[in-house]
A and B are shown apart, each in its own frame.
Chain A
Amino acid sequence: MIEYMSQALVTTFTCSNITALVLGTLIGIVVGILPGLGPMVGMVVLLPFTFALPPAVALSLLLGVFCGGYFGGAVPAILMRTPGVPSSLVTSFDGFPLTQKGEAQTALSAALVGSLGGGIISVFILIFLAPALAHVAASFGPPEYFAAGLLGVVLVVMAYREKLAKGLILLGLGLWISTVGIDGPTLVPRFCFGTLAMQNGLHLVPVCLGLFGIGQTLMLVERKILVNARMSLTRRTLDFSKIAATLKYWKSLILSGVIGTFVGLLPGTGSILASFLSYETVKKVSGRAEAFGKGAPEGCLASEAGNNAVPAGAMIPLLTLGIPGDALSAVLLGVFTINGIYPGPLLLIKEPVLINTLYLSMLLINIVAFVILAIWLRPFAMVVRVSNTLLASIIMSLSLVGIYAVNTRLFDAGVALVMGTLGYILLRLEWPVVNLVMGVVLGEILEERLRESLSMSEGNPLIFLERPISLFLFVATFLIIVIPVLWDSRKARIRARNKGRDFS
């Protein structure tokens, strides 16, 4: 263990890893600060560049964007009530009132300390929980993996249960896209429509980059999402005396970090829920509930600790089961598989140095992001003044050339444009695009495990109910579908009864 850790320390502090980590964090902060972009756009635009990099460096770069994005999102939420990332909306509840009172520094200090604390707590939980979960997952066979993958997919679909039909359509589309190309076991071309280019399949990179990078850019071109007229900040750096003052909320910090990690662990829940749950819990526990929403620094701290704990939380099912919890970790899964590394319980045994490097990099990213924003707070905050159309032009051209560079195929750039058009339509209609990405990423895993399981049982689907872990996961999946439906119908019945009473 110590040997692996010392090797990981050396790998973490190599020049290339530190450069990737700092660069990723810088880009993450910038895309996090810019409302309408977010870490997903940053990650997918950088994805083509990671192919030439060793896995640890590539992951540090993308994790830097992932975590840095959440750090950056708090800045415009506090200063302009415009969240850079959706989960920072909760930070604006108390952050913006503090800015209006002339206490922007207090709010920013609380938010950044919250982000740092939440990030570090969640990495420690990841370090201790991942091996335990991997130990359980080591007894998994194909039926258990299929059941776990299905549970992940169902959790994501049910997270948007008010858009259930739309979610099912997109999940189905994603799963179907993952089957296009030559089928591995039978070597039969599938859904290639007579074209040679389709035989290589529709790769994750053009699909993700199209859906999020190009789709979001087209939204930016149309909507002019960035609002930049009201941004102002007098101090260049963070006021360090305010940081010390926020440390008195250490109990809230730990509580929010733990809540955020466990919410991040569940597929489909997302950082908004983590932020909101942490905020509400701290509000109840603090005994100062009346101050929340009017400018309580503790609110900013809780919300940011909650959402910044999500990336490490999402890494737990990703590393131990190979199941991503959201679109961002789905992209990370893509980086693993492209490098021939398959996350699962054996990953912790097979690649201990990579895993320890990942842990250390995540710890460092949180510290680097905090230091960068504390020192260059105003220059970063002013990033929102960059013209959105200029940004759109840069992202669009960089995305297209980057996609071409991955396989030197113009066909991939065409796929990205088609996916970009679809992404734009789905984003404008507010359909759950994450279901589509989850389908594309999990499709291959689910199909492989399903066919392996059915081969084991010679086509008998009851194999999924004959094994205890698989049965447990199927029952959990069933309950996740049934309980919310029953709950919703009960609420509807009560509402109808109350309405009837009002009329009578």
Chain B
Amino acid sequence: MAQKTNPKSRVHDLLGAVLGLFAAIVMATSPWQVDTSGPYPFYKGALIFPLMALGLMVMGSVPSFIRLLRPGATDSWHLDGGGLPRRPAVVLSMAVAFIIGIPMIGLEISCILFTASMLYYLGHRSPKIYVFWPLLLSGVFYLVFKYFLDVYFPTPLLLEYLGG
């Protein structure tokens, strides 16, 4: 069971520094990311506002950088005792597979596989749950998105392959 989040954990500084570093890199490379060769002066141009936003990020991350490089005697990496986020990471991987699965095997099969595997992984061992709910959700998605909203879903590559 996770405890209360430690506001002084060095994890905060690490995240702040990573975001600040990202902003600094984007800022440094912005002349190549944004074409400013047009007729617009800088104050009307496309770069003034993004530079202000990135500047804000860099400014906000300075304390994190300092604390990360020169930690106090009592600073620790302890965050909340919850450990590494294995369950969210696995669920996230499944979600990525679900998204990739939609153009490969189609919405319905992808949805059934994703929901069933997620429910099984999260501890549901009764087939009533990990078979019934995926089938129900898949049916609801078909009705709502394909039948009523007429949303275009790509033809599954697998179906194209099997159909020749």
Contact = CB atoms under 8 A, between A and B. Distances in A.
Given A176-B54, A222-B87, A165 B16 contact: yes
Given A165-B64, A186-B40, A401-B141, A424 B85 contact: yes
> Which interface class (under 10, 10 to 19, 20 to 34, 35 or more) fits B?
35 or more
Nearest to A224: B1
Contacts of A6: none
A376 to B, nearest CB: 23
Instruction: Please name the 6 residue pairs, one residue from A and one from B, whose CB atoms are nearest each other, closest first.
Output: A168-B60, A172-B56, A172-B57, A175-B53, A389-B122, A169-B60
Interface stretch (B18-26, B69-77, B155-163): B18-26
Given A185-B44, A431-B12, 14 more contacts: A165-B62, A183-B34, A186-B45, A190-B50, A221-B88, A389-B119, A393-B137, A397-B98, A397-B137, A400-B95, A420-B92, A443-B49, A451-B49, A454-B48
Contacts of B30: 191
A486 interface: no
B139 interface: no
Interface of A: 49, 52, 164-169, 171-173, 175-176, 179, 183, 185-186, 188-193, 214, 217-219, 221-223, 387, 389-390, 392-394, 396-398, 400-401, 404-405, 408, 410, 413-414, 417, 420-421, 424-425, 428-431, 439, 443, 446-447, 450-451, 454-455, 458-459
Contacts of B53: 172-173, 175-176, 179, 439, 443
A451 B48 contact: yes
Contacts of B63: 165
B92 A168 contact: no
A390 B129 contact: yes
B149 A52 contact: yes
A429 B38 contact: no
Contacts of A446: 49
B7 to A, nearest CB: 8
12 contacts: A166-B12, A169-B20, A183-B46, A188-B36, A214-B95, A389-B123, A392-B122, A400-B95, A401-B141, A424-B88, A430-B5, A443-B53
Contacts of B48: 450-451, 454
- Of A186, A443, A447, most buried by chain B (CB within 10 Å of CB) is A186
A188 B91 contact: no
Interface of B: 2, 5, 7, 11-12, 15-16, 19-20, 23, 26, 30, 33-36, 38, 40-50, 52-64, 79-80, 82, 85, 87-88, 91-92, 95-96, 98-99, 102-103, 107, 111, 114-115, 118-119, 122-124, 129, 133, 137, 141, 145, 149, 151-153
Contacts of A451: 43-44, 48-49
A447 B49 contact: yes
A383 B114 CA distance: 24
Contact of B149 (A168, A179, A394, A405): A405
B61 A169 contact: yes
A258 B60 CA distance: 36
Nearest to B26: A191
Contact of A218 (B62, B91, B149): B91
Dominant SS at the A interface?
A: helix
B66 to A, nearest CB: 11
A408 B12 CA distance: 36
Nearest to A413: B99
A458 B44 CA distance: 9
B75 to A, nearest CB: 15
A410 B101 CA distance: 11
Contact of A176 (B2, B23, B122, B137): B23
A417 B91 CA distance: 11
A446 B124 CA distance: 48
Contacts of A167: 60
A393 B43 contact: no
Nearest to A51: B149
A440 to B, nearest CB: 11
Given A397-B137, A400-B99, A455 B43 contact: yes
B35 A401 contact: no
Contacts of B34: 183, 188-191
A404 B87 CA distance: 24
B60 A165 contact: yes
A150 to B, nearest CB: 11
A167 B59 CA distance: 11
Contacts of B61: 165, 169
A218 B88 contact: yes
Contacts of B119: 389-390, 393
Contacts of A223: 2, 82
B133 A390 contact: yes
A226 B153 CA distance: 35
A231 B157 CA distance: 48
Contacts of A389: 118-119, 122-124
A92 to B, nearest CB: 18
